[in-house]
Structure 1
Amino acid sequence: MRVFLTGASGFIGQQLVIALLNARHQVIACTRHPARWQAQYPQVQWIACDYTQDHQPDIWLSRLTNVDIVINAVGIIQETAQQSFEALHTRAPIALFQAAEQLGIRRVLQISALGAEAETYTAYQRSKQLADNALWQLDLDPIIVYPSIVVGRGGGSTSLFSALAALPIIPLIGDGQQRLQPIHITDFTVCILRLIDNWSGRQRLAFVGCEEVRFSDLLQLLRQWLQLPPALSLALPLALITPLAKLNNHLKIGALNRDTLAMLQRGNYADVQPLINATAYTPCPLMQALATQPAVTGDRWQARLWFLRPLLRLSIAFLWIWTGIVSAFLYPTLESYALLAATGVTGALLAPLALYGSALLDFVLGLATLFAYRLRWVVFVQCGLMLGYTILISYGLSELWLHPFGAISKNLPLLVATLILLVLEER
């Protein structure tokens, strides 16, 4: 069958692409940057779509030519300045569903979120629910699936929870007894394929694992999967976690924010029997499913670096910002001019321009690093400046190589750390 898949570049979307291809389906996949994916999956027909703007059914009509099934796997867990829940979860999917109705494509599968089928408590769930309800009212034979936490290599939630599990002391949110029922990505794709092959429309199904686990148990399972030794847990009070989650709505470091914390606290579980009945398949226990894809060195690296990545960016940003402030306002001006003179920079105009211009540049580069703004170019400028400063100072103030505080030699590890930051921050 010809399957039209949106959100194909996401965690779930990529796994569905692989599963659909293995099942001999023809895949038409939507993503914002199809050229990036064409080489990896040449057998897929890639189409450029922009879910932030494609909000009219007419836009989707030509894309759905000769399509048998539509699957909407678009989803973000956190809004950005460019991507909102309303645009990606509500307006674009509704336009897609309406186009499918106009073309008579009756089989539409919507991947929603567990909790969106009931009374919603977060903007994330509400945005999903609006699209679900709009789909249900159309003259179609839809299937709406409500996944719990989908666990698997490359998943956002899995990355966060693995990072927590890899810490020397495992932090728990509150008492760690939140009720969860995660489903492994392999079981998820198997169930989707079975629904496609034996389509029975107008179904709403919770996609959950076969067993309920507590949040603390999930972290221990992931630590075992990472093949790390046992560790103690530390319960963190909600009075501490809640303001941090709210702050992260703005910092956007990882998946923990106000909405995800609220969903975690309410629990994420459901009866698995309807899923078993609909698919004739029972999801595996989580540890058994994880064992089918054993953790490798890269998984342990990612888990252990997950929290160090933002700390590295913040520390490098602080260094540049603080250097700019010290150079402009705190270090004695005459001594600064003396240092510049030793490198050949003198004059009533040139010396102040060099001093305050470089201080301003350092400060701006620090702010850009702090907010990860055009980080690739910022890193290149920073590395160029560090090399330039090192060469210039080595020429005029070579004695600083012997300074016990490492006035010049510290540039070498800083240069490497900055390049590592670029690698860790790039997606």
Structure 2
Amino acid sequence: MSTTASPARPSAADPVGPADVAAAARVLEGVVLRTPVESSRALSALAGGPVLLKCENLQRAGSFKIRGAYVRMARLTDEEKARGVVAASAGNHAQGVALAARLLGVQATVYMPVGAALPKVAATREYGATVEHHGASVDEALDAARRHSERTGAVLIHPFDHADVVAGQGTVALEILEQVPDVRTVVVPVGGGGLAAGIVAALADRPDVQVIGVQAAGAAAYPASLAAGHPLPAGRLATMADGIAVGRPGDVPFAILAGHHVPVRTVSEEDLSRALLLVAERAKMLVEPSGAAGVAALMAGLEVATPAVVVLSGGNIDPLVLLRVVRHGLASAGRYLQMRVRIDDRPGALAALLADLAATGGNVMHVGHVRTALDLGIDEVEIGVQVETRGPDHCARVLEHLRAAGYRIEA
């Protein structure tokens, strides 16, 4: 991957600018954590220069979302606060709103998709919000939240499409400038675009710093929208990165990203899996798939000017999703070998296969035994084997050894 887009430049028409982000930072003093930046030797080697990780996964409530939610809610009038607030989210914005509401003494109701991760639902409730489930996506939950607002008078706290929210998210960039003064590139995950737009707004008077957005290919509304010049719906959302699975760009963030010609790249599910695994193994960080999107882009070949900072936007991952993603990442990285082997249906044949696998240094994780199938001979059985290996080269050696021993293999 490469990018040739020009760096961001100030625009008088921007709905949010550096002064707005600076004002938001004053609102957030004593509320949010100044999250650390950590260097990454693995990513620096890929980029050919220093790459650092901005660890918003260590932020209060597990993501950057508390920044925008608190700024938006802190600026409500007393009468608006008395009516309460309502929001919609798959998890991170929900927790940010719930925590901000608790800190400000405001009653919050949060609509979450029916399939929202249970740990995120539980955390939102523990912060004191009332959780309602509606729809299969954030967009459907947001429709329900809007109806709730119209019905009750509660103020809708949009996850990304409001100037105060964008300004709050942009405070991430102010910290980056303090921590990495010579930063040249900021790579940031993009869903509705609030975080990326806030960072662009904060850096509008720093034309030497480029911002690059990253979306999951299975939920990528921005590339087509930027090409068309106006927000377009993404259509079907199919990605493990639920934190950035947004059906349509927000009008406020889109205006900023489009106005500054910010490139938005896409990454595959395999890219996301490998990135999550690398962050866990090499950076010792637990992040959710959406939080690793920037890392995924670098691993997929995105060229950046260094020093570069990659924002790890969140760490709220369902343990069951983590288990699936780690397995997927290991497979994508060549650490798992899955194959079907046909052997003779006789005593000792399976034991011999396992012994031959042991001789290669492969660790057998799972064995399946099929004795009856239309394409099996009367004297054959099919063995499905999952083997843990040391990487792609080891996989190739395992297969070569077994085939040389006469096994019929489909890998």
Smaller-chain TM-score range? 0.3 to 0.5
Normalising by the residue count of structure 1, what TM-score does the alignment of the two structures yield?
0.31
Pick the structure with greater CA Rg: 1
Higher relative contact order structure (alpha carbons within 8 Å, sequence separation ≥ 6): 2
Name the structure with the higher helix share: 1
Name the structure with the higher strand share: 2
Normalising by the residue count of structure 2, what TM-score does the alignment of the two structures yield?
0.32
